[in-house]
Amino acid sequence: MTPAFFEAAAAALPDCCRDRPPACGLILGSGWSQALTIDTPLLRLPYSAIPGLGASTVVGHAGEFLLFDRHGLRVAAFLGRRHWYEGAGWGPVVLPVELLRRLGARNLLITNASGGISPSLAPGDLMVIRDHINTVGISPLIGPVVPGWGPRFPDQSHVYSPALIDLLRKAAHDTGAALSDGVYAFTSGPGYETPAEIRAYAGMGADAVGMSTVPEATVANAAGLRTAGLSCITNMAAGISGPHLSHEEVIDQTRKTLPAMAALLDAFLARLAQTP
Ligand code: HPA
Protein backbone atom coordinates (compact mmCIF):
# COMPACT_ATOMS: atom_id res chain seq x y z
CA MET A 1 0.00 0.00 0.00
CA THR A 2 2.37 2.67 -1.26
CA PRO A 3 1.23 6.18 -2.19
CA ALA A 4 1.74 5.13 -5.84
CA PHE A 5 -0.72 2.25 -5.34
CA PHE A 6 -3.48 4.69 -4.33
CA GLU A 7 -2.46 7.32 -6.92
CA ALA A 8 -2.81 4.83 -9.78
CA ALA A 9 -6.29 3.81 -8.67
CA ALA A 10 -7.45 7.40 -8.12
CA ALA A 11 -6.15 8.41 -11.54
CA ALA A 12 -8.35 5.76 -13.16
CA LEU A 13 -11.54 7.41 -11.87
CA PRO A 14 -12.99 9.67 -14.57
CA ASP A 15 -13.38 13.42 -13.94
CA CYS A 16 -17.13 13.14 -13.37
CA CYS A 17 -16.32 11.51 -10.02
CA ARG A 18 -14.91 14.86 -8.88
CA ASP A 19 -17.78 17.10 -10.03
CA ARG A 20 -19.29 16.95 -6.57
CA PRO A 21 -18.06 15.11 -3.43
CA PRO A 22 -20.21 12.05 -2.74
CA ALA A 23 -22.49 12.59 0.26
CA CYS A 24 -22.33 8.85 0.82
CA GLY A 25 -20.11 5.95 -0.11
CA LEU A 26 -21.37 2.38 -0.15
CA ILE A 27 -19.36 -0.83 0.03
CA LEU A 28 -21.77 -3.67 -0.66
CA GLY A 29 -20.82 -7.20 0.37
CA SER A 30 -22.11 -10.71 -0.27
CA GLY A 31 -25.47 -10.65 -2.02
CA TRP A 32 -26.04 -6.91 -1.41
CA SER A 33 -25.15 -5.61 -4.88
CA GLN A 34 -28.55 -6.54 -6.29
CA ALA A 35 -30.20 -4.51 -3.52
CA LEU A 36 -29.17 -1.39 -5.40
CA THR A 37 -31.38 -0.86 -8.45
CA ILE A 38 -30.06 2.21 -10.22
CA ASP A 39 -31.20 2.25 -13.86
CA THR A 40 -29.25 5.24 -15.09
CA PRO A 41 -26.06 5.78 -13.09
CA LEU A 42 -23.75 8.67 -13.99
CA LEU A 43 -20.93 6.14 -14.23
CA ARG A 44 -20.55 2.37 -14.22
CA LEU A 45 -16.94 1.14 -14.04
CA PRO A 46 -15.80 -2.49 -13.75
CA TYR A 47 -13.22 -3.13 -11.02
CA SER A 48 -10.86 -4.35 -13.74
CA ALA A 49 -10.62 -0.68 -14.86
CA ILE A 50 -9.36 0.41 -11.42
CA PRO A 51 -5.72 -0.64 -10.94
CA GLY A 52 -5.12 -2.40 -7.63
CA LEU A 53 -8.76 -3.30 -7.06
CA GLY A 54 -9.04 -6.35 -9.30
CA ALA A 55 -12.05 -8.59 -9.68
CA SER A 56 -13.38 -10.24 -6.54
CA THR A 57 -12.75 -13.97 -6.57
CA VAL A 58 -15.92 -14.61 -4.56
CA VAL A 59 -19.35 -15.59 -5.92
CA GLY A 60 -21.96 -12.93 -5.06
CA HIS A 61 -19.55 -10.00 -5.39
CA ALA A 62 -20.34 -7.99 -8.51
CA GLY A 63 -17.10 -6.03 -8.99
CA GLU A 64 -18.46 -2.71 -10.23
CA PHE A 65 -18.11 0.93 -9.20
CA LEU A 66 -21.24 3.05 -9.60
CA LEU A 67 -21.71 6.80 -9.33
CA PHE A 68 -25.30 8.01 -9.14
CA ASP A 69 -27.68 10.59 -7.70
CA ARG A 70 -30.50 9.46 -5.42
CA HIS A 71 -32.85 11.60 -3.33
CA GLY A 72 -30.67 14.54 -4.37
CA LEU A 73 -27.53 12.92 -2.93
CA ARG A 74 -24.43 12.05 -4.90
CA VAL A 75 -23.56 8.43 -4.06
CA ALA A 76 -20.40 6.45 -4.92
CA ALA A 77 -20.96 2.71 -4.56
CA PHE A 78 -18.58 -0.24 -4.66
CA LEU A 79 -20.59 -3.32 -5.60
CA GLY A 80 -18.58 -6.25 -4.28
CA ARG A 81 -15.57 -6.26 -1.97
CA ARG A 82 -12.18 -7.87 -1.69
CA HIS A 83 -11.34 -9.84 1.45
CA TRP A 84 -8.17 -10.45 3.46
CA TYR A 85 -8.57 -14.21 2.90
CA GLU A 86 -8.19 -13.77 -0.88
CA GLY A 87 -4.50 -13.36 -0.14
CA ALA A 88 -3.87 -10.15 -2.07
CA GLY A 89 -3.02 -8.15 1.06
CA TRP A 90 -4.81 -5.13 2.51
CA GLY A 91 -4.51 -2.97 -0.62
CA PRO A 92 -7.60 -4.14 -2.53
CA VAL A 93 -9.58 -4.51 0.73
CA VAL A 94 -9.25 -0.89 1.84
CA LEU A 95 -8.79 0.79 -1.56
CA PRO A 96 -12.51 1.66 -1.82
CA VAL A 97 -12.27 3.56 1.47
CA GLU A 98 -9.21 5.52 0.34
CA LEU A 99 -10.86 6.35 -3.01
CA LEU A 100 -13.97 7.58 -1.21
CA ARG A 101 -11.82 9.66 1.12
CA ARG A 102 -10.01 11.21 -1.83
CA LEU A 103 -13.34 12.01 -3.52
CA GLY A 104 -14.39 13.81 -0.35
CA ALA A 105 -17.10 11.40 0.83
CA ARG A 106 -18.38 12.30 4.28
CA ASN A 107 -20.40 9.17 5.09
CA LEU A 108 -19.87 5.47 4.42
CA LEU A 109 -22.23 2.53 4.74
CA ILE A 110 -20.62 -0.93 4.66
CA THR A 111 -22.79 -4.04 4.28
CA ASN A 112 -22.12 -7.74 4.67
CA ALA A 113 -23.58 -11.18 5.23
CA SER A 114 -22.92 -12.71 8.61
CA GLY A 115 -23.65 -15.65 10.84
CA GLY A 116 -25.90 -15.07 13.84
CA ILE A 117 -24.51 -15.87 17.28
CA SER A 118 -27.06 -14.16 19.52
CA PRO A 119 -30.15 -16.29 20.20
CA SER A 120 -32.23 -13.21 19.45
CA LEU A 121 -31.13 -13.32 15.79
CA ALA A 122 -32.46 -15.54 12.99
CA PRO A 123 -31.58 -15.98 9.30
CA GLY A 124 -33.11 -13.16 7.29
CA ASP A 125 -32.71 -10.59 10.07
CA LEU A 126 -30.97 -7.28 9.45
CA MET A 127 -28.56 -6.03 12.11
CA VAL A 128 -26.93 -2.64 12.41
CA ILE A 129 -23.37 -2.96 13.72
CA ARG A 130 -23.00 -1.15 17.03
CA ASP A 131 -19.39 -2.15 17.59
CA HIS A 132 -16.95 -4.84 16.55
CA ILE A 133 -14.38 -7.31 17.84
CA ASN A 134 -11.34 -7.88 15.64
CA THR A 135 -10.57 -11.53 16.46
CA VAL A 136 -7.80 -11.58 13.84
CA GLY A 137 -5.70 -9.15 15.80
CA ILE A 138 -4.16 -7.60 12.72
CA SER A 139 -5.11 -4.27 11.19
CA PRO A 140 -4.71 -2.51 7.83
CA LEU A 141 -3.33 0.42 9.85
CA ILE A 142 -0.17 -1.58 10.62
CA GLY A 143 2.73 -0.04 8.70
CA PRO A 144 3.82 3.50 7.96
CA VAL A 145 1.23 6.15 8.82
CA VAL A 146 -0.76 6.86 5.63
CA PRO A 147 -1.40 10.58 5.06
CA GLY A 148 -5.11 11.23 5.57
CA TRP A 149 -5.64 8.21 7.82
CA GLY A 150 -5.39 10.12 11.07
CA PRO A 151 -2.89 9.75 13.90
CA ARG A 152 -0.67 6.75 14.69
CA PHE A 153 -3.10 5.60 17.40
CA PRO A 154 -6.65 6.37 16.24
CA ASP A 155 -9.47 6.50 18.78
CA GLN A 156 -11.92 3.62 18.21
CA SER A 157 -14.50 4.48 20.86
CA HIS A 158 -17.15 5.08 18.16
CA VAL A 159 -16.06 3.35 14.96
CA TYR A 160 -19.74 3.21 13.95
CA SER A 161 -21.31 6.66 13.96
CA PRO A 162 -24.19 6.98 16.46
CA ALA A 163 -25.78 9.53 14.09
CA LEU A 164 -25.76 7.07 11.17
CA ILE A 165 -26.99 4.23 13.41
CA ASP A 166 -29.90 6.48 14.34
CA LEU A 167 -30.63 7.17 10.65
CA LEU A 168 -30.59 3.43 9.91
CA ARG A 169 -33.06 2.84 12.75
CA LYS A 170 -35.35 5.54 11.38
CA ALA A 171 -34.97 4.15 7.85
CA ALA A 172 -35.90 0.68 9.10
CA HIS A 173 -38.97 2.16 10.76
CA ASP A 174 -39.87 3.87 7.46
CA THR A 175 -39.75 0.55 5.61
CA GLY A 176 -41.38 -1.53 8.34
CA ALA A 177 -38.25 -3.71 8.66
CA ALA A 178 -37.21 -5.06 12.05
CA LEU A 179 -33.63 -3.94 12.68
CA SER A 180 -31.67 -5.29 15.61
CA ASP A 181 -28.29 -3.98 16.62
CA GLY A 182 -25.24 -5.86 17.78
CA VAL A 183 -21.54 -6.50 17.97
CA TYR A 184 -19.86 -8.00 14.89
CA ALA A 185 -16.87 -10.31 15.29
CA PHE A 186 -14.39 -10.24 12.39
CA THR A 187 -12.59 -13.48 11.54
CA SER A 188 -10.02 -13.98 8.79
CA GLY A 189 -11.89 -16.81 7.07
CA PRO A 190 -11.96 -18.45 4.62
CA GLY A 191 -12.93 -21.36 6.83
CA TYR A 192 -16.13 -20.91 8.77
CA GLU A 193 -15.62 -20.89 12.52
CA THR A 194 -15.57 -23.96 14.72
CA PRO A 195 -18.36 -24.37 17.29
CA ALA A 196 -15.77 -23.82 20.04
CA GLU A 197 -14.72 -20.51 18.48
CA ILE A 198 -18.35 -19.42 18.26
CA ARG A 199 -18.87 -20.22 21.96
CA ALA A 200 -15.76 -18.16 22.74
CA TYR A 201 -16.96 -15.20 20.62
CA ALA A 202 -20.38 -15.39 22.30
CA GLY A 203 -18.62 -15.13 25.65
CA MET A 204 -16.70 -12.10 24.36
CA GLY A 205 -19.97 -10.35 23.56
CA ALA A 206 -20.30 -10.96 19.82
CA ASP A 207 -23.79 -11.14 18.31
CA ALA A 208 -22.75 -12.00 14.76
CA VAL A 209 -19.65 -13.17 12.92
CA GLY A 210 -18.21 -12.56 9.47
CA MET A 211 -15.09 -12.20 7.35
CA SER A 212 -15.23 -8.56 6.31
CA THR A 213 -16.24 -4.98 7.13
CA VAL A 214 -13.91 -4.42 10.09
CA PRO A 215 -10.81 -3.63 7.99
CA GLU A 216 -12.73 -1.06 5.93
CA ALA A 217 -14.46 0.41 8.99
CA THR A 218 -11.14 0.65 10.84
CA VAL A 219 -9.56 2.69 8.05
CA ALA A 220 -12.69 4.78 7.43
CA ASN A 221 -12.96 5.69 11.11
CA ALA A 222 -9.28 6.61 11.29
CA ALA A 223 -9.66 8.69 8.13
CA GLY A 224 -12.58 10.62 9.63
CA LEU A 225 -15.45 9.24 7.55
CA ARG A 226 -18.72 8.81 9.40
CA THR A 227 -19.17 5.04 9.13
CA ALA A 228 -22.05 2.60 9.53
CA GLY A 229 -22.26 -1.18 9.10
CA LEU A 230 -25.20 -3.35 8.23
CA SER A 231 -25.36 -7.16 8.35
CA CYS A 232 -27.79 -9.53 6.75
CA ILE A 233 -27.89 -12.56 9.01
CA THR A 234 -27.78 -15.43 6.53
CA ASN A 235 -27.35 -18.42 8.85
CA MET A 236 -26.83 -19.26 12.48
CA ALA A 237 -23.13 -19.62 13.25
CA ALA A 238 -21.38 -22.99 13.56
CA GLY A 239 -22.70 -25.26 16.27
CA ILE A 240 -25.87 -23.22 16.84
CA SER A 241 -28.08 -24.79 14.21
CA GLY A 242 -27.76 -26.87 11.08
CA PRO A 243 -25.32 -29.67 10.40
CA HIS A 244 -22.98 -27.55 8.23
CA LEU A 245 -22.44 -24.13 6.62
CA SER A 246 -21.96 -23.21 2.97
CA HIS A 247 -21.56 -20.10 0.83
CA GLU A 248 -24.55 -21.27 -1.25
CA GLU A 249 -26.71 -21.03 1.88
CA VAL A 250 -25.39 -17.50 2.49
CA ILE A 251 -26.17 -16.33 -1.06
CA ASP A 252 -29.54 -18.09 -1.01
CA GLN A 253 -30.59 -16.26 2.17
CA THR A 254 -29.49 -12.83 0.86
CA ARG A 255 -31.63 -13.52 -2.23
CA LYS A 256 -34.65 -14.12 0.00
CA THR A 257 -33.96 -10.99 2.07
CA LEU A 258 -33.26 -8.80 -0.98
CA PRO A 259 -36.54 -6.80 -0.91
CA ALA A 260 -35.96 -5.75 2.73
CA MET A 261 -32.29 -4.97 2.04
CA ALA A 262 -33.16 -2.86 -1.03
CA ALA A 263 -35.88 -0.94 0.82
CA LEU A 264 -33.60 -0.24 3.78
CA LEU A 265 -30.69 0.98 1.62
CA ASP A 266 -32.97 3.36 -0.24
CA ALA A 267 -34.70 4.60 2.93
CA PHE A 268 -31.28 5.22 4.50
CA LEU A 269 -30.26 7.42 1.56
CA ALA A 270 -33.60 9.23 1.80
CA ARG A 271 -33.08 9.86 5.53
CA LEU A 272 -29.49 10.98 4.96
CA ALA A 273 -30.73 13.44 2.33
CA GLN A 274 -33.01 15.01 4.96
CA THR A 275 -30.22 15.64 7.44
CA PRO A 276 -28.38 18.96 7.36
N1 HPA B 1 -19.31 -17.06 9.57
C2 HPA B 1 -18.47 -16.21 8.94
N3 HPA B 1 -18.84 -15.47 7.90
C4 HPA B 1 -20.11 -15.59 7.48
C5 HPA B 1 -21.02 -16.44 8.09
C6 HPA B 1 -20.61 -17.23 9.20
O7 HPA B 1 -21.36 -18.02 9.79
N8 HPA B 1 -22.20 -16.31 7.41
C9 HPA B 1 -22.00 -15.39 6.45
N10 HPA B 1 -20.73 -14.95 6.47
- Considering the domain boundaries, does residue 82 fall inside one? yes
Split into its structural domains, the chain has a count of 1
Determine the pLDDT at residue 58.
67
Determine the pLDDT at residue 248.
86
CA distance 73 to 105: 11
Taking the alpha carbons at both ends of the chain, their separation in whole angstroms is 35
- Considering the domain boundaries, does residue 180 fall inside one? yes
From the candidates 1, 30, 64, 197, which is the catalytic residue? 30
What is the residue type of 112?
Answer: N
- Considering the domain boundaries, does residue 10 fall inside one? no
- Considering the domain boundaries, does residue 8 fall inside one? no
Determine the pLDDT at residue 244.
84
- Active-site residue 221, yes or no? no
Q: What is the pLDDT of residues 124-162, one digit of tens each?
A: 999 999 999 999 999 999 999 999 999 999 999 999 999
Q: Are 194 and 244 in contact (CB under 8 A)?
A: no
**pTM surpassing 0.75?**
yes
Q: What is the CATH number of the domain that holds 72?
A: 3.40.50.1580
Q: Is 192 in the pocket of ligand 1 (CB under 6 A)?
A: yes
Which domain does 172 fall in, by range?
Answer: 19-273
- From the CA of 193, give the closest atom in ligand 1: 1
| 64 bridge partner residues | 46, 79
Residue 245 has pLDDT above 80, yes or no: yes
Q: Are 226 and 207 in contact (CB under 8 A)?
A: no
- Active-site residue 211, yes or no? yes
Identify the three-state secondary structure at position 71. coil
CA distance 162 to 165: 5
CA distance 188 to 213: 11
Distance 201 CA to ligand 1 centre (A): 13
CA distance 159 to 166: 14
- Considering the domain boundaries, does residue 50 fall inside one? yes
Determine the pLDDT at residue 56.
66
| 236 bridge partner residues | 116
Q: What is the pLDDT of residues 25-75, one digit of tens each?
A: 999 997 899 999 888 999 999 999 999 998 766 666 679 999 999 999 999
From the candidates 71, 247, 249, 262, which is the catalytic residue? 247
Average pLDDT in the 209-236 region? 97
Distance 124 CA to ligand 1 centre (A): 13
- Considering the domain boundaries, does residue 5 fall inside one? no
Q: Are 116 and 122 in contact (CB under 8 A)?
A: yes
- Considering the domain boundaries, does residue 203 fall inside one? yes
